[in-house]
């Protein structure tokens, strides 16, 4: 155990992804602070019933609270811009925790989780990428704080899954059934087909989905840490949280979790190569699309002159292991690494596998 902890403490890697995660957290912090500022227009919580966890004397006046929320907005802007980002993250987190301690009525798990992750990320060198100013001398830095954030996500999953497992209403599916009934119209309004929403509102379906949700939350904390199961766990987790986002009100927790998922990717930058034919309009368009969507910098996008191997292909993708792919297989490799396409990775992988099987001769 001691050796493992020392490895985590001494681990170094490219911090590019940390900067991307910082930007997402900054946007979420900004949205949260802006919402609090807008809520002030209808009244200050301290003037009504509130339930502080700190002495009443520590609860700020309306004027002081307005200053604090305004400061949170400004700090979030600094986080996104990358200027004094680590101090701004820590300040935002501490102010959020203080405000939460002033009123239990406003306590939300997702808001506390955002504060915790912001505080943990402030301990990492997340200010070496995605910032305004001269390029950093090096992006390589310690990753132990990112590992703490990963551990925090695992704890959240275990706590959530464990509490649901011990709750008879959750195990039976009653809670999910009521949620689908209450928020079904919201899901339809968000674009979910009505027949799917109605299918979810069946009691038997609710019971099955409840057990699946509990199993997911209890298994993900372990599967995310194992290299052999990590990518499929990330894919399953993405769909798990997108489904929750479409059927429930969880504020920004979905996007917070998906941002933290990025910390589980291998900290290498442009370890894969996306070759495209510069004489082909399709090749140029696909190269631009990859550059635009490759937020985690997984690909080195380069033009190439067609040779006997590549002739006839608009793009050729070379994986981290040197494996070459074209056509649908190349799309599968891109989808596995590009966040916006990642939810489609498994369906595309299945389709590509079926296409390869059909292409094999009968006696192969």
The 10s digit of each residue's pLDDT in 204-216 is: 777 888 899 999 9
CA dihedral (329, 333, 338, 341) positive or negative = positive
Confidence at residue 311, expressed as pLDDT on a 0 to 100 scale: 59
CA distances from 362 to 241, 351, 356, 357, 359 (A): 42, 19, 12, 10, 9
Confidence at residue 178, expressed as pLDDT on a 0 to 100 scale: 79
Question: Would residue 307 count as lying in a domain?
Answer: yes
pLDDT beneath 70, residues of the chain: 1, 190, 306-312, 359-364
> Tell me: the pLDDT tens digits for 158-193?
999 999 999 998 888 888 877 777 777 777 776 777
| Residue where a domain terminates, one of 264, 287, 319 | 264
Question: Would residue 68 count as lying in a domain?
Answer: yes
CATH assignment of the domain containing 348: 3.40.30
Question: Would residue 114 count as lying in a domain?
Answer: yes
Confidence at residue 356, expressed as pLDDT on a 0 to 100 scale: 74
22 and 95, same domain (yes or no): yes
Confidence at residue 364, expressed as pLDDT on a 0 to 100 scale: 47
Confidence at residue 361, expressed as pLDDT on a 0 to 100 scale: 61
286 and 242, same domain (yes or no): no
Q: Contact 287/312 with Cβ under 8 angstroms?
A: no
Question: Would residue 173 count as lying in a domain?
Answer: yes
Radius of gyration of the chain (CA): 23
247 and 305, same domain (yes or no): no
Question: Would residue 152 count as lying in a domain?
Answer: no
Number of separate domains in the chain:
3
- The span from the CA of 13 to the CA of 267, in Å, is 6
| Residue where a domain terminates, one of 219, 239, 264 | 264
Domain housing 301 = 272-359
CA dihedral (336, 340, 341, 343) positive or negative = positive
Confidence at residue 362, expressed as pLDDT on a 0 to 100 scale: 57
Confidence at residue 29, expressed as pLDDT on a 0 to 100 scale: 96
278 and 346, same domain (yes or no): yes
Q: Contact 310/300 with Cβ under 8 angstroms?
A: no
Q: How many CB atoms lie within 10 A of CB 305?
A: 10
251 and 286, same domain (yes or no): no
3-state SS, residue 66? helix
- The span from the CA of 297 to the CA of 289, in Å, is 13
Question: Would residue 16 count as lying in a domain?
Answer: yes
Confidence at residue 359, expressed as pLDDT on a 0 to 100 scale: 64
15 and 135, same domain (yes or no): yes
Question: Would residue 76 count as lying in a domain?
Answer: yes
Question: Would residue 151 count as lying in a domain?
Answer: no
128 and 43, same domain (yes or no): yes
Q: Contact 79/89 with Cβ under 8 angstroms?
A: yes
278 and 348, same domain (yes or no): yes
| Residue where a domain terminates, one of 264, 286, 308 | 264
Question: pTM score > 0.85 for this model?
Answer: yes
Confidence at residue 342, expressed as pLDDT on a 0 to 100 scale: 95
Distance of CA 66 to the CA centre of its chain: 30
246 and 215, same domain (yes or no): yes
29 and 111, same domain (yes or no): yes
Q: Which residues contact 85 (CB under 8 A, 6 or more apart)?
A: 22, 26, 78, 79, 126, 127, 131
297 and 346, same domain (yes or no): yes
Pairing of strands 324-325, 315-318: antiparallel
127 and 174, same domain (yes or no): no
């Amino acid at each position: 155990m001691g050796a493992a902890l020392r490895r985590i403490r001494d681990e170094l890697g490219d911090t590019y992804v940390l900067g991307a995660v910082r930007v997402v957290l900054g946007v979420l912090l900004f949205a949260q602070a802006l919402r609090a500022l807008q809520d002030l227009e209808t009244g200050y919580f301290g003037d009504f019933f509130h339930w502080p966890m700190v002495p009443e004397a520590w609860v700020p006046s309306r004027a002081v609270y307005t200053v604090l929320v305004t400061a949170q907005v400004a700090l979030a802007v600094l986080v996104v811009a990358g200027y004094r980002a680590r101090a701004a993250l820590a300040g935002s987190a501490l102010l959020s925790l203080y405000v939460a301690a002033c009123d239990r009525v406003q306590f939300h798990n997702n808001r506390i989780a955002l504060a915790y992750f912001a505080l943990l990320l402030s301990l990492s060198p997340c200010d070496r990428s995605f910032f305004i100013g001269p390029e950093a001398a090096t992006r390589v830095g310690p990753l132990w704080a990112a590992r703490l954030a990963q551990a925090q996500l695992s704890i959240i999953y275990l706590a959530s899954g464990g509490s649901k497992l011990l709750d008879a209403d959750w195990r039976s599916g009653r809670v999910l059934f009521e949620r689908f009934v209450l928020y079904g119209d919201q899901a339809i309004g968000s674009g979910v087909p009505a027949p799917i929403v109605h299918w979810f509102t069946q009691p038997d379906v609710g019971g099955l989905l409840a057990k699946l949700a509990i199993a997911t939350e209890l298994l993900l904390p372990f599967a995310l840490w194992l290299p052999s199961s990590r990518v499929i766990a990330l894919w399953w987790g993405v769909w798990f949280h997108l489904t929750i986002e479409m059927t429930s009100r969880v504020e920004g927790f979905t996007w917070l979790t998906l941002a933290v998922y990025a910390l589980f990717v291998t900290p290498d930058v442009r370890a894969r190569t996306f070759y495209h034919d510069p004489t082909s309009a399709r090749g140029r368009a696909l190269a631009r699309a990859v550059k635009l969507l490759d937020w985690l910098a997984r690909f080195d996008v380069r033009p190439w002159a067609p040779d006997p191997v590549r002739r006839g292909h608009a793009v050729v993708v070379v994986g981290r292991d040197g494996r070459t792919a074209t056509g649908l297989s190349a799309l599968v490799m891109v989808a596995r690494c590009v966040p916006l396409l990642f939810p489609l990775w498994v369906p595309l992988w299945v389709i590509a596998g079926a296409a390869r099987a059909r292409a094999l001769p009968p006696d192969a």
